[in-house]
Amino acid sequence: MHIKGKISYSSPSNIALVKYWGKEPGDQIPMNPSLSMTLRECKSFTTVEYEVKTDAEPSIEVVFEGKRSIDIEAKLQRWFTKISYFFSWLNYATLKVESHNNFPHSAGIASSASGMSTMAMCLYGIDKHIKKHNENDINLLSNISRLGSGSASRSVLGPYALWGRFDGFENSTNDYAVRYPYVHETFLDLHDTIIVVDKEPKKISSRDGHSLMEGNPYRQARIFQANKNLETLLYALKEGNWEKFQHVTESEALSLHALMMSSEGGMLLLKGGTVDWIHYIRNKREETGLPMAFTMDAGANIHLLYPAGVHEQVMGILEESPVPSIDFIQDSTGKGPEKMIDEYEEI
């Protein structure tokens, strides 16, 4: 077999409403189920030029944001050893990867979710040509993405994706994310304004953060809480209940950071500005009655979620705030990856 081609996809990041934080023994098995909203604007763009020839030596070269990245090459190679079970042709593929994001680094937007899912889309596209099939096995795609980065499993789906076994949703599994379909129109077009208060790279990777949950004294309580919050959130999404949505979203953001702080070594990612913004948002919400709910990833920046209809008012509140910010990044509910280029020839 000898095939050559070029394939390109974009894939969005996502923001978790119920957080994945901590693993179970095994290969990327989450400690608790999580649920996220897929984003529309913040994306990774990946192009793979490939040549697959039986018995050739495998090789990979990655250019990320214009620069060769040996770190990403090593990360992808580790991932390939796991997924060559599905894509055995990786053992004799020559790959040239170019990838970039349209959002700034360290902006509180999960770039591993968009980056790994966009790479999974490209590999699956190549697999279709090699095996001559035209399936669109979204479970397999999500599974492959998960093996690269847990949160990436949720980026291949939109608008809401649930990953991890949860008793309250029959099709849920630890192997891949599934779409949560029962969403009231209130939540089908949410805006997410990311309030950037800090641009410094994180002092600790999420991989190390997950492993700190192993010895966390609140581990069992967290598993219970995440399941309970997920149950409430699924109800809120279905019924269009903003109050419950807001309650869970904020409880999860604060709990994530509380778990980090209570881990060995006391991981503190919040900045003074983060806390000031939270107080400001809560005060303004009480004053105006506007529906807005904040969340955070493993970082200092804030995602402020609200229905599209109140965008002007919310932005007015953010812009007149005395609390400083570096930037506001605008995003909203999205659908998932998109194909951009797919050309190949059999030799």
Tokens of 138: 């979204």
Helix residue ranges, H only, 17-168: 70-83, 111-131, 138-148
Task: Kindly state the DSSP code that residue 138 receives in the 8-state scheme.
Answer: H
Nearer to ligand PMV, 155 or 193 (CB): 155
Nearer to ligand PMV, 208 or 346 (CB): 208
Nearer to ligand PMV, 107 or 126 (CB): 107
- Residue 213's identity, in one-letter code, is M
Q: Is 38 in contact with 154 (CB distance < 8 Å)?
A: yes
Could you tell me the smallest distance in angstroms from the CB atom of residue 59 to ligand PMV?
27
Could you tell me the smallest distance in angstroms from the CB atom of residue 333 to ligand PMV?
16
Can you tell me whether residue 222 is helix, strand or coil?
helix
Tokens of 82: 């796991």
DSSP character string of 229-258: HHHHHHHHHHHT-HHHHHHHHHHHHHHHHH
Print the SS3 string covering 275-315.
Answer: HHHHHHHHHHHHHHCCCCEEEECCCCCEEEEEEHHHHHHHH
Nearer to ligand PMV, 8 or 151 (CB): 151
Nearer to ligand PMV, 20 or 64 (CB): 20
Nearer to ligand PMV, 149 or 172 (CB): 149
Q: For 173, how many CA atoms within 13 A lie in the half-sphere containing its CB?
A: 11
Binding site residues, ligand PMV, CB under 6 A:
16, 19-21, 34, 110, 112, 149-151, 206, 297-298
Can you tell me whether residue 125 is helix, strand or coil?
helix
168/233 Cα distance (integer angstroms): 11
Could you tell me the smallest distance in angstroms from the CB atom of residue 142 to ligand PMV?
13
Nearer to ligand PMV, 31 or 140 (CB): 31
Could you tell me the smallest distance in angstroms from the CB atom of residue 148 to ligand PMV?
9
